Amino acid sequence: MAADDVRLYPHPIIAREGWPFVGLTVGLALVATWLDWTVAAVLLWLVAVFVVQFFRDPARTPPVGEGLITSPADGRIVVVGKAIDPITGQDSLKISVFMNVFNVHSNRAPIQGRVMDVQYFPGAFFNAAIDKASEQNERSAMVIEDPQGRRLTCIQIAGLVARRILSYVKPGDSLLRGARYGFIRFGSRVDVYCPPGTQALVSVGDKVYAHSTALARW
């Protein structure tokens, strides 16, 4: 398997985080259908379809090129600009991806490397599309270092509806580019802080896809 070819992984099609929700909603829809509760059955099947699409986790093909930093999430770019990395305190290029409830919510490593630090911060649940969410919302940060010693920070941020950030990594873990490292339920945001000199390849308003879209090049 190539360093960033992680199209094959456990729990394909539907993320493992979603199976309890899928089972519950489909089960309730089947019961309502069997009892001939037509209105309830229709509503429950609509909910089940929404849950299935929310927890979908499709295979992705990475972009081709040297030094690419790929998107950790599906969504829309809401920030591209200079900022201070809140974890390392270093000057950085900040790129933020906002996920709405219709995006895939599986988060993927933007580079190949070793996890150097993981930190969790409790907080509020403001709309993840606004700037203060980066500093005041519940969030989980991961610092990752590539084989050349370059570091970047990924911060998962809860949103207005999101109430659960899941992170599966710890310091010392090795990740392939595109490897699943976390999940955020029901709308959220991921901020990426890249070192100075990194070239942004996206602009505010662009739609991006986890592991398939190159955010930047270093």
Active site positions, annotated: 188
Report CA-CA distances (Å) from 146 to 69, 161, 171, 180. Answer: 11, 33, 14, 16
Residue pointed to by tokens 């490292």: 181
- Rounded CA separation 133/194 (Å): 19
Q: Of the candidates 195, 187, 186, 191, which has an alpha carbon nearest to the alpha carbon of residue 217?
A: 195
- Rounded CA separation 162/137 (Å): 10
The C-alpha angle with vertex 38 and arms to 36 and 43, in degrees rounded to 5, equals 130
- Rounded CA separation 193/156 (Å): 12
